[in-house]
Amino acid sequence: MKVACVLANGFEDSEFRQPYDALQDAGHDVTIVGLQAGQELKGDKGRETATVERSFADAQPNEFDALLIPGGFSPDRLRAHQQAVDFVKAFFAANKPIMAICHGPQIFIPAGTYGGHRMTAWKTIQSDLRLLGANVVDEEVVVDRNLVTSRQPQDIPAFIREGLKLLERTPAAAR
Amino acid sequence: MKVACVLANGFEDSEFRQPYDALQDAGHDVTIVGLQAGQELKGDKGRETATVERSFADAQPNEFDALLIPGGFSPDRLRAHQQAVDFVKAFFAANKPIMAICHGPQIFIPAGTYGGHRMTAWKTIQSDLRLLGANVVDEEVVVDRNLVTSRQPQDIPAFIREGLKLLERTPAAAR
């Protein structure tokens, strides 16, 4: 499947690297979509770098089958831009698989897509989402139909396991 | 006046340095309060460093006359800790002067102190606060009784100007 990974500076290093590698290793094609094509991004811990391959201005959600949203400060940087928010909204509207970890679900707030699924997130974002009336739980991984969410780096193995299962069971019709 | 500046890693460099220096230059005594005394903190842009002087575990809000909350990723790191959230709440409860810029008002969300004042914040936090029912406007500086808020580094001069005025007009009784 073609997976868009939305990323900006200050992403949580392992929350990008490990799911990215696991999806590629499983035969999926992951494209890094960001604010400016060619931009070099650094992880918050300085361990990982990544290059934006496509910008929101030229990447269309309908070119992709699934979405990956790593955490860190990246989701808050992305959600300052309406194009990034609209990009994420489109995957919800099309019921395409979405994997979001840690601060990832922060983008769901301006997108208005936090109300339809049971989910988890980083503890501070859990608190924001709960106050907004979302159905939030504190578990290492939550799967609700097309959405897989996790809380933090320690949850990455469960996040990858459930994410890969979700991509496998997504009907070919949606691809 | 004795001012507590609450700070964690990833603070926005100028939003810490410039108000901190301006308050000290005006004769106020600013103490950096954080998660662990002695911890060396780095700004998000790598331009500024700061050392935590007191931890939330041993600093009491009643030792301070006012509060400064710089932005960046620092406020989200702080609000993951209940002691930091309670520290901020205490300044609201005592009607002490509070200066918060950019992501600073993010701490008001878990503190439940976003409903009582007109305020501004970084654009993504404006959006969170608005969805939560707060009285939020998009202006370079907003003064409402004991609270001064601003949006971003460009607003720092207005933020400092109104913050200093607030400290000057705070009655001696509150000191």
User: Is residue B70 within 8 Å of residue B19, measured between CB atoms?
Assistant: yes
B55-84 residue pLDDT tens: 999 999 999 999 999 999 999 999 999 999
HEC letters along chain B: CEEEEECCCCECHHHHHHHHHHHHHCCCEEEEEECCCCCEEEECCCCCEEECCEECCCCCHHHCCEEEECCECHHHHHCCCHHHHHHHHHHHHCCCCEEEECCHHHHHHHHCCCCCCEECCCHHHHHHHHHCCCEECCCCEEEECCEEEECCHHHHHHHHHHHHHHHHHCCHHHC
pLDDT for A133 equals 97
Can you read off the two tokens belonging to residue A71?
């955490």
Is A5 one of the annotated active-site residues of the chain? no
Q: For B150, what's the count of Cα atoms within 13 Å in the CB-facing half-sphere?
A: 24
Kindly state the average pLDDT of the residues B16-35.
Answer: 98
* B173 band by pLDDT with thresholds 50, 70 and 90: very low
pLDDT tens-place string over residues A9-37: 999 999 999 999 999 999 999 999 999 99
Across the range B27-51, mean pLDDT stands at 97
In angstroms, what CA-CA distances link B93 with A58, A111, B60, B89, B96? 49, 33, 14, 6, 8
Among all residues of chain A, which has the CA nearest to that of B72? Answer: A73
Give the alpha-carbon dihedral of B116, B121, B125, B130, to 10 degrees.
40
Mean pLDDT over the full length of chain A: 96
Q: What is the pLDDT of residue B171?
A: 74
Above 60 in pLDDT, residue B3?
Answer: yes
**Whole-structure pTM value:** 0.96
**What is the spatial distance between Cα B58 and Cα B74, in angstroms, rounded to a whole number?**
20
Can you tell me the distance from the alpha carbon of B35 to that of B59, in angstroms, rounded to the nearest whole number? 11
Judged by CB atoms closer than 8 Å, whether chains meet at B44 and A109 is answered as: no
Residues of B with catalytic roles: 102-103
Q: How confident is the model at residue B172 (pLDDT cuts 50, 70, 90)?
A: low
A82 vs B: CB within 8 A: no
CA A14 to chain B, closest CA, distance in angstroms equals 18
Domains defined along chain A, listed by start: 2-174 (3.40.50.880)
B132 touches chain A (CB under 8 A): yes
Residue B109 contacts A where some CB pair is shorter than 8 Å: yes
A80 touches chain B (CB under 8 A): yes
| Exposure b/e, B42-51, CB count within 10 A at least 16 = b | ebbeeebebe
Structure tokens at A81: 């831009």
SS (HEC) of A96-129: CCEEEECCHHHHHHHHCCCCCCEECCCHHHHHHH
ipTM of the complex: 0.94
Chain B residues in contact with A109 by the CB 8 A cut-off are 127-128, 131
Q: Which CA distances in Å does A91 have to A35, A80, A85?
A: 18, 18, 11
Per the annotation, the verdict on A103 as an active-site residue is yes
Residue range B112-126, pLDDT digits in tens: 999 999 999 999 999
Task: Name chain B contacts of A128, Cβ cutoff 8 Å.
Answer: 109, 128
Cβ-count burial A6-19 (b if 16+ within 10 Å, e if not): bbbbbbbbbbbbbb
Å between A131 CA and nearest CA of chain B: 7
Confidence class of residue A79 from pLDDT cuts 50, 70 and 90?
very high
Residue A42 distance to chain B (closest CA, Å): 12
Q: Would an 8 Å CB–CB cutoff place B131 in contact with chain A?
A: yes
pLDDT in tens, B125-142: 999 999 999 999 999 999
Measured between beta carbons, the chain A residues lying within 8 angstroms of B128 are 109, 128
pLDDT per residue over A133-175, tens digit each?
999 999 999 999 999 999 999 999 999 999 999 999 997 544 5
Q: Does A109 touch chain B (CB under 8 A)?
A: yes
Q: Which of A44, A103, A128 is closest, CB to CB, to B128? A: A128
Q: What is the mean pLDDT of chain B?
A: 96
Looking at chain A, the whole-number percentage of residues with pLDDT higher than 90 is 97
Predicted confidence at residue B116, as pLDDT, reads: 94
Q: Using CB atoms, which residue from A110, A123, A132 is nearest to B80?
A: A123
Chain A residues touching B131 at Cβ < 8 A: 109, 132
Residue A76: pLDDT band by 50, 70, 90 thresholds? Answer: very high
Residues in chain A within 8 Å Cβ distance of B41: none
d(CA B24, CA B175): 17
